[in-house]
Chains A and B, each alone.
Chain A
Amino acid sequence: METASERSGGKPVKILVFACRWCGGIGAERAGWKRADLPASFRVIPVECAALVEPDAVFRALAAGIDGVAVLGCHVGGCRYDEANHAALKRMELLKVLLDTVGIGGERLCLAFGTAHEDHQFAAVMGDFHRLLQGMPPLAPWTGGGDEDSPRSVGT
């Protein structure tokens, strides 16, 4: 496979993954056992449950120059904390709508609620997400935001 993180345009893809301790994390581990070949573009922050992923952390990640955020949780109905992931899933889906609204693209938030003990699924999700982000334009117009910008002007 082509060297990991390159994207057309030169800058490497950066992905932040929140993986729940159960389905998400175990799926990731199993991908390792199977020696799946994955791009080194993602970093994992383990969380107890997908419900622990604050929406604001997603915005924070995108603002820090990360191209996409993946939230991996258990199947709806299979969460170790009962219905905790129901609200999490609904919340994340609404977040996608907001990202779509402003043109950042809901695709930059990858939700895999169902990455169970299925290593092939983790590998597939990460591989697909990486390729998707490779094809997307950088978020620079958004993350630039500082004094070095051109003078503010009121108008369309």
Chain B
Amino acid sequence: MTKTVVLLCNCFGEIGGVLPLEEIAGKLRESGDGLSVHVLPSLCMDQDAERMGTLLRDEGADSVVAGGCPSPARRETLRRALGNAGIDPARCAHVDLREGCAWIHRNDPAGAARKAADLLAMGLASLEERGASSDVWTEVRPECLVIGAGPAGLAAASALARRGVTTHLVERSAQAGGMMNLLSRVYPGNEDGKSRIAPGLRELEENPRIVFHPRSRVLSVKGFAGDFKVLVQTADGPLHLRTGAVVVATGAGVFLPAKMYRYGELKQVITLMELERQWIRGIGDRKRFVFIQCVGARCPERPYCSTICCPSSLKNAVRVMEEIPGGEATVLHRDIMTPGAVLERYYRKAMETGVRFVRFREDAPPEVTGSETVEGVRFRDAAGGKAWALPADAVVLATPLVPGMDNRSLKDLLGIELDGHGFFAETYPLHPLETRMDGIFIAGSARWPVSSEQAAAQGEGAAVKALGILGQGRVSALSLSRVPGRKLGHGRVEDGSCTGCGNCVAVCPFLACSLQDTGNGRLVSRVNKMRCKACGNCVSVCPNGTMQIPEHNYRMVGAMIRKAFSE
């Protein structure tokens, strides 16, 4: 026998000044058999928690309808009151009588009163029909998987290992370091790529908690946050792992400017990456370098700025001026992107060392001249419109970072999405480094083109987020909410009525539904509670109402609709 108590908040006159609360309370008492209704001056003051708790306990209440403001602060006091009275917070319906009623219908008190009565009736109806989802718990596996051993992956693995987490670092190539291995110098300093990530490499070598798997690939990842079942193909054969979280730090590729600016056709038209290799092997006797920016970037096919190409070109241009006797560097650009104080200083330094900067218009790109090898570059200066012809020994094309080749297959493997450009999609908004799958995080250029220091910072960030799961011994499905607090509930399948149509499987953004064979050829949907976020798509596409979220089932909605307008 349920005992429901209705608490109406006067809000020190904010609500009571517009709504005739005593009248509404009176009507409610008459309508429901034995419905207890109290009008209180406030529900959110400190002393209210105890007062309400006592009241509810004395009345033997097990359900509450609280009409007042929708403020979270008030809900906190209510929660304490419910706790005092031993009432399950799920048995409390909140009705917004202030922002949603009193404050917006001040000029229609009669209408507002009717609305308030209706809203409370809806709240009561929702309590009657509301169900409760059952929770499941999973033991959290204490280990973590990091895919990719570039600066982001190394930083993540180091951060995890230093906090005592055994981390499996899976790397496609034979050595750690990623793109850092290819750079002879990293801006804005003078160290080479390997030196920049020396701390990470040292941690890798010295910390036994990092288990390094070079020449390995991830073949499959199944499961859910807290318990991922991973299969890795290592150099020594297949390896089965169970980890609590996954960090994807697979980096990016570099765009190859085929047929642009006569690349591939003319000798000495090279990319920035090739220039790095040439610094290492020997720069030869070339003196006059022309850098062209935004090659294959900020165009319709790749409408983004790749962050690192301007600083890279500046780094190389300065090096040309400082290390090559008689060296000349010219940077042909559409814009120079050097945000922040350090990079701004770097830009000015480049100008001071004598690097020339000329802006060209997007619709009038430079032309590289020469028959077998580069002879010069013709361009038109965007400011004055003047045409120039500059002799050159080499033309260096600054190309953007592009999504890694494996992104498509990895995304299917992991069940995460790619964004419109092909990089791994971050779940948006307000959840940096997270993907749509709980427990799978992204860092570094796999997520978006960044410098190595930003990649390292993100790697640490992803590690800390992973620790959010790894640090718990057990995790419950209802606690895996995208937002603070508890999940609404889970999708639930009424076994006997599922037709196995698979609509829910197709529509779920979290891949939480799957069809299982019941044995006699019938397929029935099953919800993975750890993945389900209770968004409700499955419910809306189920043809016969089999799939429901108990906390918001169709009976409840039907009842609320019937009570919405009393006249």
Contacts and interface: CB of A to CB of B under 8 A. Distances in A.
Direct A/B contact, Cβ within 8 angstroms: yes
Given A31-B104, A45-B560, A83 B509 contact: yes
B509 A4 contact: no
A35 B537 contact: no
Interface of B: 70, 96, 98-101, 103-108, 111-112, 114-115, 118-119, 122, 417, 427-429, 436, 482-483, 488, 507, 509-510, 533-537, 539-541, 545, 549, 552, 554, 557-558, 560-562, 564-565
A48 B561 contact: no
Contacts of A81: 482, 509-510, 533, 535
Listed residue (A4, A28, A51, A79) with the most chain B CB atoms within 10 angstroms of its CB = A51
B540 A88 contact: yes
Given A35-B103, A48-B552, A55 B540 contact: yes
Nearest to B111: A40
Given A60-B561, A66-B564, A82-B510, A49 B535 contact: yes
Contacts of B112: 40
Interface in A1-57: 1, 3-5, 14, 16, 25, 28-29, 31-33, 35-41, 43-45, 47-49, 51-57
Contacts of B509: 81-84
Listed residue (A3, A53, A78, A82) with the most chain B CB atoms within 10 angstroms of its CB = A82
Nearest to B425: A82
Contact of B537 (A1, A43, A64, A84): A84
Given A60-B558, A80-B482, A44 B100 contact: yes
Given A49-B536, A51-B537, A81-B482, A40 B105 contact: yes
B529 to A, nearest CB: 15
B122 A43 contact: yes
A65 interface: yes
B537 A87 contact: yes
Listed residue (A25, A35, A36, A54) with the most chain B CB atoms within 10 angstroms of its CB = A54
A144 B469 CA distance: 56
Contacts of A16: 561, 564
A77 interface: yes
11 contacts: A3-B111, A5-B108, A16-B561, A37-B106, A38-B104, A48-B534, A48-B535, A52-B540, A56-B545, A66-B564, A88-B537
B430 to A, nearest CB: 8
Given A1-B107, A5-B108, 5 more contacts: A32-B98, A32-B100, A52-B552, A64-B565, A77-B428
Listed residue (A31, A33, A41, A45) with the most chain B CB atoms within 10 angstroms of its CB = A45
A44 B114 CA distance: 14
Contacts of B429: 78, 80
A91 B535 CA distance: 15
Closest 6 CB pairs of A and B: A32-B99, A52-B536, A40-B111, A81-B535, A84-B535, A4-B108
A61 B561 contact: yes
A80 B436 CA distance: 10
Listed residue (A38, A43, A45, A88) with the most chain B CB atoms within 10 angstroms of its CB = A43
A14 B507 CA distance: 32
Contacts of B122: 43, 45
A57 B539 CA distance: 11
Nearest to A42: B115
**Majority SS of interface residues in chain A?**
loop
B83 to A, nearest CB: 23
Listed residue (B536, B558, B560) with the most chain A CB atoms within 10 angstroms of its CB = B536
Interface residues of A, number: 48
A49 B101 CA distance: 22
Nearest to B429: A78
Contacts of B562: 64
Contact of A32 (B104, B539, B564): B104
Nearest to B119: A43
Contacts of B482: 80-81
A82 B564 contact: no
B540 A53 contact: yes
A134 to B, nearest CB: 14
A60 B535 CA distance: 21
Nearest to B488: A48
Contacts of B510: 81-82
B96 A44 contact: yes
Nearest to B538: A51
A36 B565 CA distance: 22
Contacts of A4: 105, 108, 111
A1 to B, nearest CB: 7
A52 B535 contact: yes
A84 B537 CA distance: 7
Contacts of A43: 115, 118-119, 122, 564-565
B91 to A, nearest CB: 17
B281 to A, nearest CB: 46
Contacts of B106: 35, 37
A144 to B, nearest CB: 17
A37 B561 CA distance: 24
Contacts of B108: 3-5, 39-40
B565 A14 contact: yes
Given A3-B111, A14-B565, A60-B561, A28 B99 contact: yes
A31 B535 contact: no
Given A43-B122, A48-B534, A31 B561 contact: no
B118 to A, nearest CB: 6
A147 to B, nearest CB: 20
A60 B560 CA distance: 11
A31 B99 contact: yes
B428 A66 contact: no
B538 to A, nearest CB: 9
Nearest to A83: B509
A37 B115 CA distance: 15
A47 B482 CA distance: 15
A47 B540 contact: no
A28 B540 contact: no
A59 to B, nearest CB: 10
B66 to A, nearest CB: 14
